Structure 1
């Protein structure tokens, strides 16, 4: 029989309804699920035989959802900084990947990234990379909810020779993990400038047949749009609309450059956006129109992108940045208030992945993906509004406990499923190997 655990935080923030903060309440989990949220006094009586854990100065909230990441690229952190996107890709990242990316590289890099993400309160990652089995194994090893995005491109890499080969490998990898509770798959055409029309059509058909999502970089830079106008006579989103790609099963990463008509198009088709504020700034890609997207009804979640372009996988930092940038870009200080920013990093991400019935908020019946953030420190005082404090003043170092699927993966800041020393040793190994070349 599953152990019943009652958590008694100072503040319980369920995310839905938006802005709600419960004090003197407990969350009860049994096995992989939340079974009740109720006053603490009642929980101690009704669940007298349960294990009770008091978090006296903590906020309890849903695990954060990283809606766009390249986890294995943690091993390329700091390799090629302060460059524009295409220079960064063509002259540095892709050549390094061609020399070094392997099943072991991807497993080691993904485990490294997942340890970092867990320590920062992230419980689900929507990934996009190569060697899909290695990403899935890393997720299982870490105990992290992992959406494996299977990259598809037209040109050869060390992993595949052409689009059909990438798709074949994606389908084979997916078959290996059917029934694994923490792992699911999406098809991830890299971007409009690396994927041909016929390949997009194949991906659309397969995604419909398999009932899986699609994950793609779209409108990340002005150069991408200019190249599409030159090659196809239309902007990338119009081309993708004509192909039938736009729909509620699409997570579009970045969408930095969208005009009013394109925002309306995204809303009409129910496309979800993975906003990557830190990466967009570092690569000088621009300022996404998050306030306008949300005003139009577009669902916007938050991603870190890869550690090679961020350079940290810290959703608490990125949700703060997302809120601040939205205010500056729109000229409206009320754009993306704290509660909305928190929703972007939790429930909005769950909606984008089609998982909002199971994760993204704290509610009886949902899976127990839960984090505790310690707000007792000097940097969090005085505290008037715990949601505001979480978004604008908290750091990942304050995340003390993480549960995924009801299992403790971080307790008192110590990893429970992964060995930090071993991860660091592997990072040193790859650093020496890559630096040598």
Structure 2
């Protein structure tokens, strides 16, 4: 199940790398402003975030296969049809609405749901590997899409992403399963085999999600200190990854004379090291306090963003290469410890709760994308963007100093 899920996340991650590659070509060919294109990307991020908790709830009511298959079809339509668009509203509808809904259904809330059902042992490292599949795929695709955009057109890159999503559909239908009981198994690492024959309902933990709406879960967790700290910090994660770096790194490098292919190659390198960093973070999450891991991750990310404005050049320098490797290691290393804190605090409701955390992540990314487009149009540079990212990262790290440990008396009764 981990392997199939990894493939699904890789197959759907192409769109996340597409906007940064085609942003400048769209601006040049269609004559649309950076603000207009950034609005479509921002709307996508908002809908991805809003769709995540509902998709997690739908996976309880219907099935993972049904939800994921429908999402892949939406992504295929939303990335393939733009090759024939002629007006900005079409970009907003296809990128913003269709792809947003599809990507929201196959977000990291899916990772939280799957690991909660299928894994007891090594849950942290599996979360890390699946998270790496989602984010590394976005970055590893960049060199290919950048080359297609440079040598052919942005339309070719868009169609390739659509085909990648479509090819993934049969794997979901044929190989993915909802619960271990469907295969006569228990969750990996479960200490005891539940009573009852294989495939009985006894093998499924009682989640209570089915009778709850996504908003019902939100109303409960919104009363807790832990939820707001996790949501706030994860929103900052979205600001500094999908909002600032993923959308704006290539245009910023282009402003300094670097080619799109070279800048995309740097983010591709970041994607490779993201696999290493996120998997290592999962391993560390199984062994150390997640609060302190997140304090370190966000602090180091903030320091690296402070240095970024002085690293841009018209060529790939050693300093920029070091930044790329480091930022790749730290890119989404925040997810495994965030999922662990969510699971510790909210138990079997963690899938839907993490869906709301993902909403915060995407809203942060959407806000950052929109603001950075306005900054670029008005100031002609992204320097303010990088300094803002550094400041909020340092604030996110400080948040975890205020979070109580999972075994503290004050946390008693928090789990739903």
What interval of TM-score do these two structures reach, taking the shorter chain for normalisation? under 0.3
Question: Relative contact order (alpha carbons < 8 A, sep ≥ 6): 1 or 2 greater?
Answer: 2
TM-score, structure 1 normalization: 0.23
Instruction: Name the structure where strand makes up a greater proportion of residues.
Output: 1
Higher helix fraction: Structure 1 or Structure 2?
Answer: 2
TM-score normalised by the chain length of structure 2: 0.24
